[in-house]
Chain A
């Protein structure tokens, strides 16, 4: 019994350190979460492929318009080659990107723009007319 009394102080230390450690552990979880705040929104800013999609839109709206005066067959041939090349170039970045024109009248054409990455999926159908832009 006497030896037990002799050891009492250690038991108390252990007891209280347990209490404190539990509280500390819990708080550190909260703190870690707190430190993470701001990560999600800034990650969005960094990874959203705004410019990649805009590049595709420029091809669909302006570059393809260069061929509007060609014959139907030439236009279709050229735009399908453009589509193939864009698919390859975007595949290199690990995403799917495509700009494919699919009808043409004398002054207008329709074009579908697609961009699919792990996080973003974009699809747009534009109807573009010479001198009038796209809608």
Chain B
């Protein structure tokens, strides 16, 4: 009977000790908290995005006079020489691939259709991006007179605004 009575007290003390131990562990755990920013996992994506923007910027060509001809490697030169197949010229692809070395990419061209008030897009280089892919884009304006008759943009009569989208991912 006596032993039974003492047993309860032992349980109680055990509970007290256990809670104290838990608190000590918790205390030391919190004191040593390290802040882990969620960005660490995305830093490579941000880098890739930057490469994308830089590549497009380098390929963009500012003319200083209207007599200049857009080089084939430039965004403008590439767009001007597109035909109905929407396949960029080889010089451009070569320049682009050198700059985004090691990354896989998809290239899209979008423009606004003022008669339907819709944005139309075509994939110039059509590959399937992974979910971690990042996109960079650049706006390019080309006057209507620049397009040869073979271009799908020939004869619009006003400058056309293009959005070139470059989607990059690590293969």
Contacts and interface: CB of A to CB of B under 8 A. Distances in A.
A40 to B, nearest CB: 10
Given A59-B141, A85-B112, A88-B112, A5 B15 contact: no
Interface of A is mostly: helix
Contacts of A24: 22, 26
A67 B104 CA distance: 37
Interface string A7-51: 011001101110110011001001100110111011001100001
Nearest to A20: B19
A12 B46 contact: no
Interface of B is mostly: mixed
Given A12-B15, A42-B37, A89-B112, 9 more contacts: A20-B19, A41-B37, A45-B46, A59-B161, A63-B139, A63-B159, A81-B158, A82-B159, A85-B160
28 contacts: A8-B8, A9-B7, A9-B12, A12-B12, A15-B15, A16-B18, A20-B19, A24-B26, A27-B26, A34-B33, A35-B35, A35-B36, A38-B35, A38-B38, A39-B37, A39-B38, A45-B46, A55-B138, A55-B139, A58-B138, A62-B62, A78-B159, A81-B114, A85-B114, A88-B114, A88-B118, A89-B111, A89-B161
Pick the 4 closest A-B CB pairs, nearest first: A38-B37, A63-B141, A9-B11, A88-B112
Interface of A: 5-6, 8-9, 12-13, 15-17, 19-20, 23-24, 27, 30-31, 34-35, 37-39, 41-42, 45-46, 51-52, 55-56, 58-59, 62-64, 66-67, 69, 77-78, 81-82, 84-86, 88-89, 91-92
